[in-house]
Structure 1
Amino acid sequence: MTSRSPKTTARTSSEARAVARTQTLLKGKDGIGTVRRTTLPGGLRVITETLPSVRSATFGIWAHVGSRDETPALGGATHYLEHLLFKGTHRRSALDISSALDAVGGEMNAFTAKEYTCYYARVLDTDLPLAIDVVCDMLTGSLILQEDVDAERGVILEEIAMTEDDPGDVVHDLFAKTMFGDTPLGRPVLGTVDTVEALTADRIRRFYKKHYDPTHLVVAAAGNVDHATVVRQVRRAFEKAGALTRTDAVPVAPRDGRRTIRTAGRVEVLSRRTEQAHVVLGVPGLARTDDRRWALGVLNTALGGGMSSRLFQEVREKRGLAYSVYSYTSGFADCGLFGVYAGCRPSQVHDVLSICRDELDRVAREGLTDDEIARAIGQLKGSTVLGLEDTGALMNRIGKSELCWGDQMSVDDMLARMAAVTPDDVRDVAAELLGQRPSLSVIGPLKDKQADRLHTAVA
C-alpha cells in the first residue's frame, strides 16, 4: 500500500469539505420555521428546521430501508437490526447508550416501517450535541456481536408474542397479507418466529453494511437548533467513524417502488378465542406520491376519521354496534391501501360489515355532501397544525419528506392543498377506489357458518 504524506491527506480533506452543498428549502419568518439541507461529500444529507422559541430539540436519523427490502429468508431483519444498534458500539456499551440520554432527561427510541427505519432522541437544546454523538455512534459503529444477536432474539420473540396477543394489531397484518399476498408488503414488519430464529449475526451484519451507507441516510433535527452547528457536529461524528470517505457519493433517490400484486375480493379469517371480532374491510388505495392523495385524505376523514364521520355515526352512535370504528389510508412508493376497521361482538359482525359495505357503496355512487367535505377539510387542517406542535413531529415531517419525496412542503402549502380539494375531486377518487371489489380480514371466535357467510360481504 502506498502511503500518503500529511500534506496530501490535508489537501484531500479540504477538497472533500469544499463540495458540501447547503440549500435553504423553506424560508421561515424571522428565521422561525426555516428548513435547510446540507449534502456532505459522503452523500449524507443533513436537514434542519429551526424553532428558536422552544427549549428542546429532536434529532433523528432516517434509513432508506424497511421490511419490504427483505427477502423471505431475511424476514424481520430490518427490525432485528433496529434493536441491535442499541446494544453497543466500539465506543459505548448498551448501558452507556441508554444512561447517556437518561442522565439528561432525554428520550430515545426507534421504529421500523415497511419502507424506512428511524432512530431518534429528544433532549433539551443544550444537550443536542450529546444526542447527536450518541445516535450517530449507534448508526456508524454498531458491533452486532453474536452474543447480542442471541440475547436480543428472545426479546424480539417476546415482542412478536405480545403483538399476537393483541388481535386489534394482528388483523392489520392479516389484511396486508390478504391484499398483497406473499410479497414484502404482505409480510409482517417483525418477521415470524421461524424467520427470526433463523437469522444469524453474519446475515444481519451484511444487511447493515448494505443499507446503512451514508448515501442511504437522512439526518434530521428540529427545534432550537442552528443548522451550521448541527452539520458540523454530525460531520465530526461520521468522520470519526470513517463513514464519509467517498467524496463522490450521491444520495439515493426516493424509492420508486416495485409494482406490487394487489388482490380483490379475498377473504382471510383467523379463528381466535377473543371477546370481539376484529374486522378490516378495504380496497387498493393510492401511492404516497399520487396528487389525488389530498382528496383521499378528505374522503378518509369524512368517511371514518372522527366522531362526526359517517361510519362512526352509523355504526356506533345510531346502532351501538362497535366501540371502535374508523377508516385509514396507507401510502407506499408504488401503491396503497384504504381500509375500514371495526371491533364488535362476534354475533354482530355481519351487521357491522353490511353497514360498512353499504356506506362504501353509497359514497362510491353518490360521493359526499358539500357540508361533509367542508367539515373534513377543516378537521384535516386543524389536526395537521396541532400535530406539528412539538419538535418530534417536526423532525418526523422533514426527515420523512426528504427520504420519501426528496423535497419539503411548507405547512402553509399543505393547508392550501387541502383547501383546494373540490367536491368533484373527492367524488372522483371515491368512485374509483370505493367502486373496487373489497377484500376482508377477520379475527375472532367465528363458527364455520359465520365464516362462510363473510364471503357475501365482498361479493
Structure 2
Amino acid sequence: MQEGAKRTTLPSGLRIVTEAIPGTRSASLGVWVGIGSRDETPNMSGASHFLEHLLFKGTHKRTALQISAEIEAVGGETNAFTTKEYTCYYARVLDADLPLAVDVLVDAVADSILEPSDVETERAVILEEIAMHEDEPGDEVHDIFTEAIFGDHPLGRLISGTEESITPMTRNQINGFYRRRYTPSQIVVAAAGNLDHNTVVRLVRKALAGTPLDGSAAAPADPRAGSKRVRHQKPHTVVRNRDTEQAHVVLGGVGIGRRDERRFALGVLNNVLGGGMSSRLFQEIREKRGLAYSVYSYASQYADAGLFGVYAGCAPGKVEEVLDLARTELARVAADGLTAEEIARGKGMVKGSYVLGLEDSGSRMSRLAKSELLYGDLMSVDELLGRVDAVTKEEVDAIAADLLAQPMSLAVVGPFDEAQFPHG
C-alpha cells in the first residue's frame, strides 16, 4: 500500500481503508459495495440502482429527513451512484464531523427498512429518470453503443433498468437482493482527509453493531475476476431516430479489461487520439474544419471486458463527413502508430490527470476504495507514474493496431433511418 494509506479487515470480511491528509480540514467517506447492474438477472434489471435510491429513505434509527438533515446541518453533503460493477454511498464533511458521517452513512447502508410506500415513491422517480434519459440523446447514444457491443450480456444493459423491469419489481424482490448481495465481504469503507485510522475503525465498528451487517466471520471477497470471456456482438450499426437538432454518434469496438497490462499504453493512446484539444480527432474534426462541437475518444474497462469508442456531436448534415474523418484517423493510427513526440505528450497527459485528480479528499477516497475493491491493492502514485513512464512506442503502436483496425460498431441518434448508414 502507498505511504499514508492503512487497511483493517474486520472479522466479518468488511474492509476499512483510510488515507490521512494532514493540513486539510475536511474528510470524505464512502461505503463501496462490490455489487452493480451486471449482478442482476434480466427481470431484476435496475435493482442495484433502485436500491441505491431506497437506502437514503430511512432506517430503524432515522427517517429520510433525518438522514439528509443531520449531514446538511453541519454543511456536509451526501450522495450515491451505481455502476455496472459497484455501488457507492458517500459523504463529505468537515473533519470534526466525520463521526457523524460514519454513523449516518453506515446506518443507511446496513440497516435500511425499505418501506413499501418509499418503494412506490422511488419507482415513480426512477421511471421519470429513465424517461428523462431518453430525452438526452448525447447520453443515450453511449448506452446504445454499449448494447451494440455487449448485446444481452448484463454489461450491455442499462444501469437504471427499463420501464418493463422497474414497473413490476416488488419490495420483497428488492429487499431480497439487498440482503443477499450487501454482505460485509463485499463492502469497503473508505475515508480520506484529516483523520486517524484507528478512530475510523472504531467508529465503523460502533455504527455496524446490531445491524444485519454485524455478521459472522468471513473472508473479504476477491476482486471480481469475471467468470469467462464476455461474448461480444458482431460489429453492426444501430440508428435511433430522434427529431434532434444535433446528431450524436459513437464509433468503436471491443476494448480491454481493467487488469490487462496494456491499460497504461491504452491510456497514452486514448489521450493522443481523442483526449484533449491537442488530440488528433479534435484537431482534424473541430479545429481544422469546424464540423463538430464535441469530439473525443474514450475507453471503458470492466473486470473481464472493455470497449473503445469515438464520440462526436454535430449537425445532421455533417455526420457522414465526421465519420469518414474519424475512420480515416483510426485507420492511420492503426497502420502507422504514433510519433515519439505524441507518445511523450500522451504520457504527460495521463500523469497530469492522475496527480491533479488527487487534489481533494473525495478523489483520494475514491482511489483508495477502487484500488481495494477492484484490484485488491493500492499502487503508490510513484508506482503508477512509473508504469506510465515505462510505456514504449512499440506497446502503444501494438494496442493501436489491435483495437483500431478491428471492424467497428456504430451507434447513431438523430433524424435518420437505418438505410442512411448501410455499411456500419
TM class by smaller structure: over 0.9
The whole-number CA distance in structure 1 between the counterparts of 2:132 and 2:215 is 42
Q: What is the identity, as a one-letter code, of the residue corresponding to 1:250?
A: A
| Aligned twin of 1:12 | none
Q: Does 1:256 align with 2:225?
A: yes
Q: What is the aligned counterpart of 1:198 among 168, 176, 181?
A: 168
The whole-number CA distance in structure 2 between the counterparts of 1:439 and 1:290 is 22
| Aligned twin of 1:385 | 355
Q: What is the aligned counterpart of 2:198 among 211, 225, 228?
A: 228
Q: What is the aligned counterpart of 1:376 among 346, 350, 370?
A: 346
| Aligned twin of 1:95 | 65
The whole-number CA distance in structure 1 between the counterparts of 2:400 and 2:289 is 25
Q: What is the identity, as a one-letter code, of the residue corresponding to 2:301?
A: G
Q: Does 1:207 align with 2:177?
A: yes
| Aligned twin of 1:17 | none
CA contact (8 A) 2:184 2:215 kept: no
Q: What is the aligned counterpart of 1:353 among 323, 328, 336?
A: 323
Aligned with 1:286: secondary structure? coil
Q: What is the identity, as a one-letter code, of the residue corresponding to 1:26?
A: Q
Q: Which runs of 5+ in 2 are unaligned?
A: none
The whole-number CA distance in structure 2 between the counterparts of 1:88 and 1:245 is 21
Q: What is the identity, as a one-letter code, of the residue corresponding to 1:438?
A: M
The whole-number CA distance in structure 2 between the counterparts of 1:371 and 1:453 is 39
1:262 deviates by 1.1
Q: What is the identity, as a one-letter code, of the residue corresponding to 1:254?
A: P
| Aligned twin of 2:117 | 147
Q: Does 1:455 align with 2:422?
A: yes
Q: What is the identity, as a one-letter code, of the residue corresponding to 1:124?
A: L
Q: What is the identity, as a one-letter code, of the residue corresponding to 1:210?
A: R
CA contact (8 A) 1:46 1:219 kept: yes
| Aligned twin of 1:443 | 413
| Aligned twin of 2:396 | 426
Aligned with 2:189: secondary structure? strand
Q: Does 1:41 align with 2:8?
A: no
Deviation readout 1:383-435 (Å, 9 max, x if unpaired) = 11111101100111010110001000111111111111111110001011111
| Aligned twin of 1:30 | none
The whole-number CA distance in structure 1 between the counterparts of 2:420 and 2:169 is 40
Q: What is the identity, as a one-letter code, of the residue corresponding to 1:255?
A: R
What does 1:397-436 correspond to in 2, within 5 Å? 397-436=367-406
| Aligned twin of 2:56 | 86
Q: What is the identity, as a one-letter code, of the residue corresponding to 2:123?
A: R
Count of paired positions: 423
Q: What is the aligned counterpart of 2:32 among 62, 68, 75?
A: 62
Q: What is the aligned counterpart of 2:104 among 117, 131, 134?
A: 134
The whole-number CA distance in structure 2 between the counterparts of 1:193 and 1:289 is 34
The whole-number CA distance in structure 2 between the counterparts of 1:49 and 1:172 is 34
The whole-number CA distance in structure 1 between the counterparts of 2:212 and 2:55 is 18
If the length of structure 1 is used for normalisation, what is the TM-score?
0.91
Q: Which has the higher contact order (CA 8 A, sep 6+)?
A: 2
CA contact (8 A) 1:264 1:283 kept: no
Q: What is the identity, as a one-letter code, of the residue corresponding to 1:88?
A: G
Deviation readout 1:153-198 (Å, 9 max, x if unpaired) = 1111111122111000000110011001112111100001111111
- CA 1:241–1:53 in structure 2 vs 1: closer, same or farther (change >3 Å)? same
Q: What is the aligned counterpart of 2:83 among 113, 132, 135?
A: 113
RMSD over aligned Cα atoms: 0.9
The whole-number CA distance in structure 1 between the counterparts of 2:99 and 2:323 is 53
The whole-number CA distance in structure 2 between the counterparts of 1:245 and 1:261 is 36
The whole-number CA distance in structure 1 between the counterparts of 2:23 and 2:259 is 33
1:242 deviates by 5.0
Aligned with 2:422: secondary structure? helix
| Aligned twin of 1:219 | 189
The whole-number CA distance in structure 1 between the counterparts of 2:234 and 2:315 is 26
The whole-number CA distance in structure 1 between the counterparts of 2:197 and 2:422 is 56
CA contact (8 A) 1:44 1:214 kept: yes
| Aligned twin of 2:134 | 164
Deviation readout 1:339-365 (Å, 9 max, x if unpaired) = 000001111111000000111111000
The whole-number CA distance in structure 2 between the counterparts of 1:195 and 1:379 is 41
CA contact (8 A) 2:111 2:212 kept: no
Deviation readout 1:324-344 (Å, 9 max, x if unpaired) = 000000000101010000001
CA contact (8 A) 2:149 2:235 kept: no
Q: What is the aligned counterpart of 1:122 among 61, 70, 92?
A: 92
Deviation readout 1:196-228 (Å, 9 max, x if unpaired) = 111110000000001111111011000111000
The whole-number CA distance in structure 2 between the counterparts of 1:335 and 1:455 is 28
Deviation readout 1:8-67 (Å, 9 max, x if unpaired) = xxxxxxxxxxxxxxxxx222xxxxxx1110000111100001101110000001101000
Larger C-alpha radius of gyration, 1 or 2?
A: 1
The whole-number CA distance in structure 2 between the counterparts of 1:239 and 1:217 is 15
| Aligned twin of 1:16 | none
Q: What is the identity, as a one-letter code, of the residue corresponding to 1:372?
A: E
Q: What is the identity, as a one-letter code, of the residue corresponding to 1:157?
A: L
Identity score, percent: 58
| Aligned twin of 2:2 | 26
Which of structure 1's runs of 4+ aligned residues deviate more than 3 A?
Answer: none
CA contact (8 A) 1:279 1:443 kept: yes
- CA 1:278–1:79 in structure 2 vs 1: closer, same or farther (change >3 Å)? same
- Range with bigger deviation, 124-133 or 376-385: 376-385
Q: Does 1:282 align with 2:252?
A: yes
CA contact (8 A) 1:41 1:244 kept: no
| Aligned twin of 1:178 | 148
1:240 deviates by 3.3
CA contact (8 A) 1:268 1:441 kept: yes
The whole-number CA distance in structure 2 between the counterparts of 1:262 and 1:377 is 30
The whole-number CA distance in structure 2 between the counterparts of 1:81 and 1:208 is 7
- CA 1:334–1:242 in structure 2 vs 1: closer, same or farther (change >3 Å)? closer
